[in-house]
Amino acid sequence: MMRRQRLLVWLAISIFGLMFVLGWLPLGAQDAVFITNTPAARVQAFATNTPAAAPLFATNTPAAQPTAAPVLSTSAPLLLATNTPQFDRMNTAPDAPIGRYALRRWDDSSLTLTWIEQVRRITADSPDRIMALRLFQQEIASRFAGTPRNAANRESLLQAMLDAPAGTVDIRPVIRPYVEAALNQLQPLFDFDSTITYKNLNITITPANLDGRAGQDAVIYIAYAPDNGSPAFRDVAMSVIDTQGIYRVPQSDVPYPIIGTSVYSSALVDNLNGDSLNELSLTVGVMGDINGHFYVYGWRGNQAVNLVEPNKQVLYAGTPRPLSDGLGFTVDEFKLEDAAWGCYSSRAVTWRWQNNFFRPPATLPDFTPRNTLACRLSAAEPLYAMPAADALRAIGNLTAQATPDDADAAGRAAIMAAMLNVLDGKADVGIQQIAGLSTGTQPGTWLDEQVQAFKQAAAAPNSTPLTLCAALQNASEYGACDVNAVLSRLFTEQPFSRDLPIEDQTARLGLTVINEATIKQVGKVDRPAYLFDLSGDQWWSFAPLGKDQYTAAAVDTPAGFEAPPEALPAVLTPPQTAYDALLVRNDPAEAINILDTIQRSRSGTPMDSAGRFLRALSLDLLGDRRTAQPAYYELWSDDPTSVWGQLAAAHLERR
């Protein structure tokens, strides 16, 4: 026993160290949470058909090479149906009146053939086909759960899915029944760690106590290992041997969006809710999200269920911390406060086990900016509105406290300091500062873009502080200068004289007038307004309020100079909420309601083919066959060459 405990501790420490060194998680944090008995081989990425470039634990962990077991067959016999659709015909409109077509009577083989055809047409750059396949798979899960039931059909479909472009197909609905069949054939024990190989699938078994029956439960890790040894697919699932001795690998609630996600870590956990049973945690990263998404699954009612309160999401960065009483955990949730500086705020949220779910408090705490250089500099803004000497002093005092973790904020501060020196009449100092930065920047980074833009603008003929500022602003997203802020300061410090034409005075600043107007307001003196080439769409007025000088102010775009309104689209497009109603909440009535609301807001504007298919499918799923059949037929007739028209045609058969 002691030897096993020491081994578990060593494995947990090894996993922690690997995650910390590689720093795959957001903000450099690691996500191996609450690991009590997780062997290193299990801490891997388990997503859909995930590209190798994703930040996955599998990227530097070679999978065990398969033995001489036969590979998945690409020529497994399908049980062909008599009403198999002819896909070459689906690129043309129907060849008979609507009365000659009825909704398709699916069987295992016809459904599988249509499914395979949809998968084979998927390409990485075809979002419509990817979405159409997701909708079709949702239909199968709702109406024909367990399809394909024929082993040969399942194997042919699985091979087509594994051959699809990485990250485009959710393979779990097919591979889990496939693995279930493999377990029932091989009959492995669930009382010790082991790995079995079945037709190019490596299945790692980790014993677990999911329902209180020792030796009858496990968490399994599935890896598809092609001939080159680089896994193209991984999955994690709960498995049990039921009281009849049958191995089961049921589907669980979808824990994360199918496309564009990666699972950073997975672990068997316990002591989170005091029931002495194991739970399975998943930490999921979604492209562009600051926080990881944390899920906890348990075995309840003979199925895997999400133990987080319904319609709630655990978001966090860093490391979840179990509560001392063993009835929940605390996470730090992050929020972006200032994208230019990269300032994040955070709050600690405690999820406590109550009434069979992990639940957050009724009132969540406020976010507080983190004590970082980025947030301290952000709080000092607007730096360009200050006198240059004051702004430089503030930057110097704050960056003196910088740590290696503050490199990005310190780099932005250094560019701004150089620009402020230029505005303060010390261009030589600013150029020297940029020269010092250029020796240490990495090509292609934000800092390198800013350095190169500064150097090129400074070397250009007739360079001015404003043209240099504009170069920084335009070189990168969140460039380190703001033309309008600098203009506001210049117009205050160096007001224009009423004795000279305004155009001549703006030219000396490096500004070119691209539009002008006269602003007339009751009770106010008329004043000219100008739009300059370096200030985007910001207009500036010059009121002759002083005896010798103009008073400049940023103003709204004068009447008659507004940009023309964008033309309304000729067709309506379903919003993501309509897809989510079906794919996430399995609520076709809600999907139809969303589409109807959009249609009412633009009466007379047609819905695009994607929306028309979504409506037809939702009607079909609600059992309204009388309305669904003409909806499919009309879409097929109107748009037979699109993925939506073809899939609509697949739902009909000629009688």
pLDDT of residue 45 exceeding 60, the answer is no
Q: Judging by DSSP bridges, how do beta strands 513-519 and 368-369 pair with one another?
A: unpaired
| Predicted pLDDT of residue 80 | 43
| Predicted pLDDT of residue 7 | 37
Residue at token pair 């994208």: 339
Contacts of 355 (CB under 8 A, 6+ apart): none
Domain boundaries, the chain: 106-327, 373-460, 495-555, 576-654
Mean pLDDT of 358-365: 94
pLDDT of residue 109 exceeding 90, the answer is yes
DSSP 8-state secondary structure symbol assigned to residue 306: E
Q: Which amino acid is at 289?
A: D
H or E segment and range at residue 601:
helix 588-601
The CA-CA-CA angle for residues 21, 26, 27, to 5°, reads: 75
Per residue in 480-505, pLDDT (tens digit) is 999 999 898 888 888 999 999 988 88
Q: How far apart are CA 504 and CA 363, in angstroms?
A: 59
Q: How far apart are CA 575 and CA 644, in angstroms?
A: 16
| Predicted pLDDT of residue 447 | 94
Residue at token pair 């396949």: 133
| Predicted pLDDT of residue 25 | 29
> Of all residues in the chain, what percent carry a pLDDT higher than 70?
82
Q: How far apart are CA 644 and CA 649, in angstroms?
A: 9
SS3 readout for 366-420: CCEECCCHHHHHHHHCCHHHCCHHHHHHHHHHHHCCCCHHHHHHHHHHHHHHHHH
Tokens of 147: 């399809």
* Segment among 68-72, 293-297, 464-468, 640-644 with least mean pLDDT: 68-72
Write down the pTM of the prediction. Answer: 0.71
Averaging pLDDT over each range in 124-128, 151-155, 339-343, which range is the top one?
339-343
When the pLDDT of each residue in the chain is averaged and rounded to a whole number, the result is 82
| Predicted pLDDT of residue 566 | 81
Q: How confident is residue 13, by pLDDT bands cut at 50, 70 and 90?
A: very low
pLDDT of residue 415 exceeding 90, the answer is yes
Residues 598, 579 contacting (CB under 8 angstroms)? no
* Segment among 225-239, 383-397, 400-414, 569-583 with least mean pLDDT: 225-239
Per residue in 318-343, pLDDT (tens digit) is 888 888 888 899 999 999 999 999 99
C-alpha count within 13 angstroms, C-beta hemisphere, residue 357: 12
Encode burial over 116-147: b for 16+ CB neighbours within 10 A, e otherwise: bbbbeebeeeeeebbbbbbbbbbbbeeeeeeb
User: Quick check: helix, strand or coil at residue 139?
Assistant: helix
Q: How confident is residue 163, by pLDDT bands cut at 50, 70 and 90?
A: confident
H or E segment and range at residue 479:
none
Per residue in 77-86, pLDDT (tens digit) is 545 443 444 4
Q: How confident is residue 30, by pLDDT bands cut at 50, 70 and 90?
A: very low
Residues 55, 24 contacting (CB under 8 angstroms)? yes
Contacts of 230 (CB under 8 A, 6+ apart): 52, 63
Contacts of 633 (CB under 8 A, 6+ apart): 94, 98, 101, 648, 652
H or E segment and range at residue 141:
helix 127-143
Tell me which long-range contacts 103-106 makes (C-beta under 8 A, separation of at least 24). 103/620, 103/625, 103/628, 103/629, 103/632, 103/651, 103/652, 103/653, 104/650, 104/651, 104/652, 104/653, 105/653, 106/144
Contacts of 544 (CB under 8 A, 6+ apart): 498, 525, 527, 550
Averaging pLDDT over each range in 210-219, 399-408, 544-553, 607-616, which range is the top one?
607-616
| Predicted pLDDT of residue 552 | 92
Tokens of 619: 């009607």
CB atoms within 10 A of CB 176: 20
pLDDT of residue 376 exceeding 70, the answer is yes
pLDDT of residue 141 exceeding 80, the answer is yes
